[in-house]
């Protein structure tokens, strides 16, 4: 099982994501200017501030050469996980529904939050139990998930919301406390909290590891 | 020239005597390029002309020292072939004029210092001082300085893991923004800045050079603040963390590939300072072609290019055969890089434009010949600072604890530190609020499966130093070491930032003199060397000087992160003990401030050796895993420390204060008095009892319940439900800054 972790200029959490992936498989860093995904089984678009995020968050990274290959990989059903800035990039790329708006406080917040697993029968949550609470840190300025009412209704009806902030835990004002959504096909998933920062008991919690383990499980099941 | 009222050298901050000396060293009058370069290199900020003689007292040798003062950052050995480089620096005057960019570029500057020595930055801490928060100016400065620090640190992927924050009237006009950074490197990767090898090429890389920050070191950093500071905004630099992120990755890759002879960042005084320092350290000369420097705007004069403080730039020396490889790595990171000069054996710094020499100075004259001044210290005969405003009436200890917990200096710092990413890079074992010091994992576990870690803390109480510059500074060093002890770390090295007023005034000179003497004595008593630091003088406004504020950052090591200490009470039924040679005293305390009492002339005497002994015993007990919590006693004394232990762990406590009197001043002194050397510990009773054989230790109570209850003489009790304590502590800052 081999993960590819993207690195744009301004990406900050790629090494953390690589270390998390390496707890359940192998992982390589993929450079934004390349097009070769090096035959990886899953792609992680990590957190940070790609290209400085001086325009709308994720809006430039979406046009990076490597993203052409990631979009093709996703269309073929390859698993793609977007974390924080990666979630924003995947929304900009049209791979995930909705958009991320500035937090309701307009401030950056770094906080350990509790998430509730909505579904456990997916590529990204099969190592969790439905209804399970995960303690994972979130840290961002632009993490308020939004979708127009019709789209939101459709996302909920399709069961695309995999993680929600537990009651009272959301600091960003996300619609319906959505913390993470997948695409309709089920192979692309994005979330604002950082599971890669919850993989070692010494640094807080190991709950985030379950998401990486889930991806490894589903890749193994398909091989 | 020197006798005209508007002589150019005076406008640039040089005295007539200094100007005459420059003429003597050059053998002629300097031209405009040379004069502007001398004015920066001979400014207080670059030449330390009022502090250098004093700083010689500080100990700079120690068993773990790898790189001492003089390089971009100092470094200590943390074992396994690894080094931690670190330094603290001020960005006070820029932050007082434009807080967001001032603070942001302060973080950018200290990060460059760390990666200039070849270390990957792994942490930032900040030390902030503002006026009281009921002032709109202080709220504005706080909000924007914190925003700037977060903007820069978060965007570049370096965690901000700790800091300190105080509000006092004397910082109203002149806030303090000190930033500390730590980096990690293998010993053999530590890089020096000396230019070597005549014929080698000087490459400038990073951001374009513009007109921002011109004269920052001389105009902003080396003069008092006053009316018309808004006019100084053009001297504040603008930060671009994305440019710095690329610059950092680029610099580290260049060093990984061993392509550089030496590396230096461009900070205060820009190209002038960086090039002359590199030449001076190598004992060589440099030719710089300013017409090759990539500019952000056309038509810049040679002197502007030489003194620009545009951010996110580095200067390196490269062997001619390696230049193409260097440029290729810079291109990969989308970082502009240009060969702008050569190393020469002339011993002169020459500035060329269009092939013509526009400046030509001996490097030694620029770097070493600035006159150093003796201070004329004189203890002031009358108090310098007004008494704080009274905001607490009466002597009811119940009200006093709630008032202290809600006061801006003691209240929960969460509304500030939550604006910083404290997690990126996956090293953070103790986050802000978990413990008295931040704890970061080192990369490699030992064969025994232990996870070595470092701990870091930054401390300094200006008001205590204003009461007693010598003892207040000793206390700051001891507090920093105590914070490390509480997580189980042994101190390895210290960096300092000396924030003072105008040293040409005798009473400020006295504060500085006494403070440095205190720091030197405390460092010697703890066997901790100073690895480098920064001096920020002229921190005064029309209403007077700031409190003298030496800020101390200390780095320590602990053998196993799994046993890093915490501050909160953890297990109901655990015994609580007070440990250490603590002598509480109210004058100069937070409670005295709230009661509007004038600053005392002097603090109580300290037994530094006994404090060190207590710290060692606490540290060893934490390392053995015998304590469930350890917290040092500082602002607000024992009662505040107990409340913080309760709130930190979510457990109440019952504590015996019989013998302290049921009411009156003596009880207040016992509960809220301050001083060095006190710890609140909790754990199984037998483990604590063993410590009592080594240091002064008194069992005082037990963890449990949902209130903090104190038993007083005559059967009286004082009790606060945890919810009441929590609400007071959480609301203090949150209410003020929203």
Mind listing the pLDDT tens digit for each residue in B219-231? Answer: 555 667 665 665 6
Domain positions in chain B are 191-368, 388-425+566-738
Mind listing the pLDDT tens digit for each residue in B118-149? Answer: 999 999 999 999 999 999 999 999 999 999 99
Question: Quick check: A106 contacting B, CB < 8 Å?
Answer: no
Chain A residue whose CA is closest to B335: A9
Question: Quick check: A65 contacting B, CB < 8 Å?
Answer: no
Question: Quick check: B569 contacting A, CB < 8 Å?
Answer: no
Question: Quick check: A53 contacting B, CB < 8 Å?
Answer: yes
Beta pairing class for B120-130 and B176-186:
antiparallel
Q: How many domains would you assign to chain A? A: 1
Do the Cβ atoms of A9 and B419 come within 8 Å? no
- What is the pLDDT, as a whole number, of residue B663? 72
Contacts of B54 (CB under 8 A, 6+ apart): B375, B512, B513, B516
Q: Which two tokens stand for residue B195?
A: 């230019």
Chain A residue whose CA is closest to B560: A202
Q: Provide the shortest C-alpha distance from residue A39 to chain B (in Å).
A: 23
Active site residues of B: 45, 91
The CATH homologous superfamily of the domain defined by B388-425+566-738: PurM-like C-terminal domain (3.90.650.10)
Mind listing the pLDDT tens digit for each residue in B288-323? Answer: 999 999 999 888 999 999 999 889 999 999 999 999
Do the Cβ atoms of B333 and A10 come within 8 Å? no
**Who among B242, B418, B561 is closest to A52 (CB)?**
B242
Provide mean pLDDT across the span B566-580: 98
Contacts with B, A 170-209, CB within 8 Å: 194, 196-197, 199-200, 202-204
Mind listing the pLDDT tens digit for each residue in A150-194? Answer: 999 999 999 999 999 999 999 999 999 999 999 999 999 999 999
Residue A221: Cβ-neighbour burial (10 angstroms; 0-12, 13-18, 19+): exposed
Q: Provide the shortest C-alpha distance from residue A155 to chain B (in Å).
A: 31
Mind listing the pLDDT tens digit for each residue in B685-718? Answer: 999 999 999 999 999 999 999 999 999 998 889 9
- What is the pLDDT, as a whole number, of residue B580? 97
- What is the pLDDT, as a whole number, of residue B3? 47
CA distances to B125, B147, B153, B317, B435 from A108, in Å? 17, 9, 12, 39, 23
- Domain ranges, residue A216: 2-222
Among residues A140, A144, A152, A194, the one annotated as catalytic is A194
Helix (H) or strand (E) holding A75: helix A65-75
Please report the DSSP string for B639-658 in residue order.
HHHHHHHHHHHT--EEEE-T
- Note whether B191-368 and B388-425+566-738 share their fold: yes
Q: Provide the shortest C-alpha distance from residue A20 to chain B (in Å).
A: 10
Going by pLDDT thresholds of 50, 70 and 90, the confidence category of residue B4 is very low
* Rounded CA separation A82/A75 (Å): 15
- What is the pLDDT, as a whole number, of residue B537? 94
First to last CA, chain B: 55
Chain A residue whose CA is closest to B153: A12
Contacts with B, A 131-150, CB within 8 Å: 137, 139
Chain A residues within an 8 Å CB radius of B155: 10, 12, 49, 52-53
Going by pLDDT thresholds of 50, 70 and 90, the confidence category of residue B217 is low
Backbone angles phi, psi at B700, to 5 degrees: -125, -10
- What is the pLDDT, as a whole number, of residue B228? 60
* Rounded CA separation B712/B671 (Å): 11
Q: What residues of chain A score a pLDDT lower than 50?
A: none
- What is the pLDDT, as a whole number, of residue B219? 56
Mind listing the pLDDT tens digit for each residue in B338-364? Answer: 999 999 999 999 999 999 999 999 999
Do the Cβ atoms of B419 and A200 come within 8 Å? no
- What is the pLDDT, as a whole number, of residue A215? 98
* Rounded CA separation B184/B117 (Å): 10
CB pairs below 8 Å between A and B: how many? 82
Backbone angles phi, psi at B350, to 5 degrees: -110, 135
Question: Quick check: B426 contacting A, CB < 8 Å?
Answer: yes
- Coil, helix or strand at residue A117: strand
Statement: residue B402 has pLDDT above 90: yes
| Percent of residues, chain B, with pLDDT higher than 70 | 96
* Rounded CA separation A45/A190 (Å): 9
Q: Provide the shortest C-alpha distance from residue B424 to chain A (in Å).
A: 6
CA angle B722, B726, B729 (to 5 degrees): 140
Mind listing the pLDDT tens digit for each residue in B20-60? Answer: 999 999 999 999 999 999 999 998 888 889 898 899 999 99
- What is the pLDDT, as a whole number, of residue B737? 82
- What is the pLDDT, as a whole number, of residue B227? 56
* Rounded CA separation B126/B162 (Å): 7
Provide mean pLDDT across the span B647-668: 91
Mind listing the pLDDT tens digit for each residue in B614-625? Answer: 999 999 999 999
Chain A residue whose CA is closest to B453: A202
Contact A105, A200 (CB under 8 A): no
Chain A residue whose CA is closest to B438: A203
**C-beta atoms surrounding A223 within 10 Å:** 7
Residue (of B90, B126, B95) closest to B109 by Cα position:
B90
CA distances to A111, B177, B730, B737 from B414, in Å? 10, 18, 8, 12
Provide mean pLDDT across the span B525-544: 94
More confidently predicted of B212 and B407: B407
Do the Cβ atoms of A108 and B420 come within 8 Å? yes
- What is the pLDDT, as a whole number, of residue B661? 77
- What is the pLDDT, as a whole number, of residue B222? 60
Statement: residue B1 has pLDDT above 50: no
Assign domain B191-368 to its CATH architecture: Alpha-Beta Complex (3.90)
């Amino acid at each position: 099982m081999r993960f590819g972790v993207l690195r744009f200029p301004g990406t900050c959490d790629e090494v953390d994501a690589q270390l998390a992936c390496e707890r359940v498989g192998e992982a390589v860093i993929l450079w934004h200017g390349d097009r070769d995904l090096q035959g990886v089984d899953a792609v992680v678009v990590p957190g940070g501030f790609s290209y400085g995020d001086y325009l709308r968050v994720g809006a430039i990274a979406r046009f990076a050469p490597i993203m052409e290959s990631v979009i093709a990989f996703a269309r073929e059903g390859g698993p793609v996980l977007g974390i924080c800035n990666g979630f924003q990039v995947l929304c900009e790329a049209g791979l995930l529904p909705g958009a991320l708006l500035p937090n309701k406080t307009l401030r950056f917040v770094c906080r350990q939050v509790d998430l509730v697993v909505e579904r456990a029968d997916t590529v990204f949550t099969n190592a969790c139990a439905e209804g399970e609470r995960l303690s994972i840190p979130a840290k961002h300025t632009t993490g308020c998930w939004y979708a127009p009412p019709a789209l939101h209704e459709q996302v909920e009806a399709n069961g695309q919301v995999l993680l929600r902030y537990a009651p009272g835990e959301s600091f960003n004002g996300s619609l319906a406390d959505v913390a993470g959504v997948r695409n309709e096909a089920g192979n692309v998933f994005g979330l604002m909290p950082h599971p890669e920062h919850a993989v070692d008991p010494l640094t807080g919690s190991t709950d985030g590891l379950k998401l990486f383990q889930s991806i490894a499980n589903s890749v193994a099941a398909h091989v | 020239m020197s006798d005209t009222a508007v002589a150019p050298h005076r406008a640039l901050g040089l005295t007539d005597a200094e100007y005459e000396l420059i003429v003597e060293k050059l053998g002629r009058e300097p031209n405009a390029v040379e004069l502007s370069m001398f004015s920066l290199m001979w400014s207080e900020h670059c030449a330390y002309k009022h502090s250098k003689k004093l700083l010689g007292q500080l100990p700079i040798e120690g068993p773990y020292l790898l790189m001492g003062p003089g390089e971009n950052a100092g470094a200590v050995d943390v074992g396994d072939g690894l080094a931690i480089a670190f330094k603290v620096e001020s960005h006070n005057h820029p932050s007082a004029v434009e807080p967001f960019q001032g603070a942001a570029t302060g973080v950018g500057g200290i990060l460059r210092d760390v990666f200039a020595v070849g270390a990957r930055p792994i942490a930032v801490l900040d030390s902030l001082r503002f006026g009281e928060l009921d002032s709109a100016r202080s709220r504005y400065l706080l909000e924007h300085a914190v925003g700037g620090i977060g903007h820069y640190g978060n965007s570049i992927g370096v965690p901000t893991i700790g800091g300190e924050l105080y509000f006092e009237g004397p910082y109203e006009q002149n806030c303090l923004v000190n930033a500390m950074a730590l980096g990690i490197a293998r010993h053999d990767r530590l890089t020096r800045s000396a230019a070597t090898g005549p014929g080698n090429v000087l490459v400038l890389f990073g951001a374009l050079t513009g007109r921002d920050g011109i004269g920052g070191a001389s105009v902003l950093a080396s003069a008092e603040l006053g009316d018309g500071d808004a006019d100084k905004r053009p001297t504040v630099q603008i930060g671009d963390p994305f440019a710095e992120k690329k610059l950092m990755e680029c610099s580290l890759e260049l060093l990984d590939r061993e392509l550089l002879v030496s590396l230096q960042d461009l900070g205060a005084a820009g190209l002038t300072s960086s090039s002359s320092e590199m030449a001076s350290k190598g004992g060589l000369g440099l030719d710089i072609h300013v017409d090759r420097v990539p500019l952000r705007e056309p038509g810049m004069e040679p002197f502007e290019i030489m003194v620009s403080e545009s951010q996110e730039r580095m200067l390196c020396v490269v062997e001619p055969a390696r230049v193409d490889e260097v440029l290729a790595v810079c291109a990969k990171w989308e970082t502009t890089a240009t060969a702008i000069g050569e190393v020469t054996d002339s011993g002169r710094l020459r500035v060329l434009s269009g092939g013509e020499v526009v400046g030509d100075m001996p490097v030694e004259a620029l770097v070493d010949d600035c006159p150093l001044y003796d201070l004329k210290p004189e203890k002031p005969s009358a108090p310098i600072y007004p008494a704080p405003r009274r905001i607490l009436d009466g002597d009811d200890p119940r009200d006093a604890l709630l008032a202290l917990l809600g006061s801006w200096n003691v209240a929960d710092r969460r509304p500030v530190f939550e604006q910083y990413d404290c997690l990126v890079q996956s090293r953070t074992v103790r986050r802000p609020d978990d413990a008295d010091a931040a704890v970061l994992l080192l990369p490699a576990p030992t064969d025994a499966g232990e996870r070595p870690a470092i701990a870091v803390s930054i401390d300094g109480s200006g008001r205590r130093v204003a009461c007693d510059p010598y003892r207040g500074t000793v206390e700051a060093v001891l507090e920093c070491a105590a914070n490390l002890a509480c997580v189980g770390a042994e101190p390895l090295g210290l960096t300092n930032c000396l924030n003072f007023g105008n040293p040409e005034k005798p009473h400020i000179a006295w504060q500085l003199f006494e403070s440095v003497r205190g720091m030197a004595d405390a460092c010697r008593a703890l066997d901790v060397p100073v690895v480098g630091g920064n001096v920020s003088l002229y921190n005064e406004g029309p209403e007077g000087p700031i409190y003298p504020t030496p800020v101390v950052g200390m780095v320590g090591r602990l053998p196993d992160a799994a046993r890093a200490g915490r501050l909160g009470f953890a297990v109901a039924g655990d015994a609580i003990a007070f440990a250490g040679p603590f002598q509480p005293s109210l004058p100069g305390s937070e409670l005295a401030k709230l009661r509007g009492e004038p600053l005392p002339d002097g603090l109580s005497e300290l037994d530094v050796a006994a404090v060190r002994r207590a710290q060692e015993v606490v540290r060893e007990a934490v390392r053995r895993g015998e304590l469930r919590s350890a917290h040092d006693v500082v602002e607000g004394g024992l009662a505040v420390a107990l409340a913080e232990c309760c709130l930190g762990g979510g457990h109440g406590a019952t504590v015996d204060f019989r013998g302290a009197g049921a009411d009156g001043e003596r009880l207040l002194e016992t509960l809220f008095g301050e001083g060095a050397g006190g710890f609140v510990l909790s754990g199984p009773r037998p483990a604590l009892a063993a410590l009592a054989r080594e240091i002064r230790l008194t069992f005082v109570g037990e963890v449990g319940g949902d209130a903090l209850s104190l038993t007083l003489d005559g059967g009286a009790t004082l009790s606060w439900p945890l919810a009441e304590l929590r609400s007071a502590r959480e609301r203090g800052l949150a209410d003020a800054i929203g």
